[in-house]
Amino acid sequence: MEEVFTGTFTQQEPIPEAGIAAAVAVMRHGRLHRYNTTPGEVPEVAALEEEFAASVGAAYCLAVASGGYALATALRACGVGPGDRVLTNAFTLAPVPGAIASLGAQPVFVGVTEGLVIDLDDLAAKAGQADVLLLSHMRGHICDMDRLVALCEAHGLTLIEDCAHTMGAHWRGRPTGCWGRMGCFSTQTYKHMNSGEGGLLISDDAEAMARAILLSGSYMLFDRHRAAPPPEAFAQLKYDTPNVSGRMDNLRAAILRPQLADLDRQCARWNALNAAVDAGLAEAPGLTRIDRVEAEGFVASSYQFLLLDWPGDAIDAVLARCARRGVELKWFGAAEPQGFTSRYDSWHYAPATPMPETDRVLRGLIDMRLPLTFTPEDCAQIARIIRAEVGAVWQAGVAAQ
């Protein structure tokens, strides 16, 4: 009998009981706004910022309303404004170019390799076109950060990291988000910590973080931040920095703090799911797995593979056959953007020159969520289904084309 997977690819685990209890406590006292405190009280948001900064070894941290808001705030804090050009990955999701466009700036897209990381040769060729690189560690794939930082230094590029998919990850032991001037994280439902929406911004740069705190809507209450620069960093900036309110509230921070305390264990669970899928797809005909290098300490909350050079109708057939058996796959090569999935040529507000090698990769890119409600046994079954359906379409004629 044909196997059918019965799990749900969008079902997250419940919020931990400690997070539920902390959230209820916040609702009972009613002080949800981060600056609404009683004498001597440390609000949940300020505590979360301290704890997250300590967890990654950053000097400063700011909690905000979303990952996209964190990106736009980091860009503003680093001086990006209307008419500026900002380098960023061609393989990313819409909030990244959206953050750039929200400032009136223009994304300049950099190619992607078959390893699903930014093409450093293309970056070197385009480095003179902008002063800032907004690097997306898309779907948890981390490029050679030593070489990337060297490129940025050689060309005078300010590096901002989008770590929405790499919370808990590192390159050679150094956490993502700590390689550039600012690092941005997301706590949206499908990320490594779940508050529905939310974001975290880290930096060791006092001026940039002071700007970010003022931008986030601190008014003149910046002295209530704990993972923040000293008061003198705000002395002049407070007169020159607009308020673009996007604060995190105490309710979301209360939900997140227990998740942060458990992050290492959760990351290990995600990687066990990834390993089960990857083992099941080893040497599958027609399918290209993504190689990882030893220096990359990744956290795989999703899984990607390539059907390189397959015709579109054959990829459509694989998706339909897998869906019939309960396995939900997303395709970055579809003619029209669907759901969360879109490509750099989908964003008409950010005109781009075609990149043939990148287009080839994206045409064959298949993406799949791995929620922690799955087990390794579930993932082994999912891999068997994908392997069988890819193999069936491959044998039916793709290999002969």
- Report pLDDT for 98: 96
Last residue of a domain, one of 261, 292, 313: 261
Q: Are residues 174 and 67 in the same domain?
A: yes
Residue 401 has pLDDT above 80, yes or no: no
Question: Is 2 among the domain residues?
Answer: no
Residues 210, 122, single domain; the answer is yes
Taking only the tens place, the pLDDT of each residue in 164-205 is: 999 999 999 999 999 999 999 999 999 999 999 999 999 999
| Tens of pLDDT, residues 5-47 | 999 999 999 999 999 999 999 999 999 999 999 999 999 999 9
10 within some domain: no
Q: Are residues 240 and 294 in the same domain?
A: no
Per-residue model confidence as pLDDT tens digits over 268-283: 999 999 999 999 999 9
Is 94 in the same domain as 177?
yes
Report the percent of the chain where pLDDT is more than 70: 99
Residue 134 near residue 92 (C-beta atoms within 8 A): no
As a whole number of angstroms, the distance between CA 190 and CA 90 comes to 21
Q: Residue 139 falls within a domain, yes or no? A: yes
| Domain total of the chain | 2
Residue type, 252: R
Decide if pLDDT at 71 tops 80: yes
Structural domain boundaries enclosing 375: 263-398
Choose one of 261, 279, 305: the last residue of a domain.
261
Q: Does residue 398 have a pLDDT over 70?
A: no
Based on the fold, state whether residues 277 and 378 are members of the same structural domain: yes
Q: What is the mean pLDDT of residues 88-101?
A: 96
Average pLDDT along the chain? 96
User: Are 36 and 103 found together in one domain?
Assistant: yes
- Clarify whether residues 91 and 240 are in a common domain: yes
Higher pLDDT: 19 or 335? It is 19
HEC string of 320-368 equals HHHHHCCCCCEECCCCCCECCECCHHHCCCCCCCCCHHHHHHHHCEEEE
Q: Is the pLDDT of residue 303 over 70?
A: yes
Q: Amino acid identity of 364? A: G
pLDDT beyond 60 at 81: yes
Q: Which residue has the tokens 């950010």?
A: 350
194 found inside a domain: yes
Question: Cα separations (Å) of 209 from 7, 93, 201, 227, 234?
Answer: 42, 25, 8, 10, 10
Domain at 97, CATH number? 3.40.640.10
What CATH number is given to the structural domain containing 269?
3.90.1150.10
Tokens of 26: 């916040």
**Residue 397 phi/psi, 5° resolution?**
155, -15
- Tell me, yes or no, whether 314 and 380 share the same domain: yes
Among 261, 296, 316, the domain boundary falls at 261
CB atoms within 10 A of CB 98: 16
Reply yes or no on whether the pLDDT at 399 is more than 60: no
**12 within a domain of the structure (yes/no):** no
Confidence of residue 337 (pLDDT cuts 50, 70, 90): confident
Q: Let me know if residue 6 belongs to a domain.
A: no
pLDDT digits (tens, 9 = 90+) for 96-154: 999 999 999 999 999 999 999 999 999 999 999 999 999 999 999 999 999 999 999 99
Give tens-digit pLDDT for 234-267: 999 999 999 999 999 999 999 999 999 999 999 9
Q: Tell whether 9 is covered by a domain.
A: no
Indicate whether 322 pLDDT > 70: yes
pLDDT for residue 39:
94
Q: If pLDDT is split at 50, 70 and 90, which confidence band does 214 have?
A: very high
Give the mean pLDDT of 286-300. Answer: 96
The reply to whether 380 and 323 lie within a common domain is yes
- Taking a C-beta distance cutoff of 8 angstroms, is the pair 331, 315 a contact? yes
Does residue 236 lie in a domain region? yes
178 and 300 share one domain: no
User: Do 329 and 241 reside in the same domain of the chain?
Assistant: no
Nearest CA-CA partner of 91 in 306, 383, 311: 306
Q: Which two tokens stand for residue 84?
A: 């500026």
- For 44-62, how does the pLDDT look when each residue is reduced to its tens digit (9 = 90+)? 999 999 999 999 999 999 9
Q: Taking 70 as the threshold, does the pLDDT of residue 400 lie above it?
A: no
- Residue 275 and residue 191 share a domain: no
Q: In the predicted model, what is the mean pLDDT of residues 292-316? A: 96
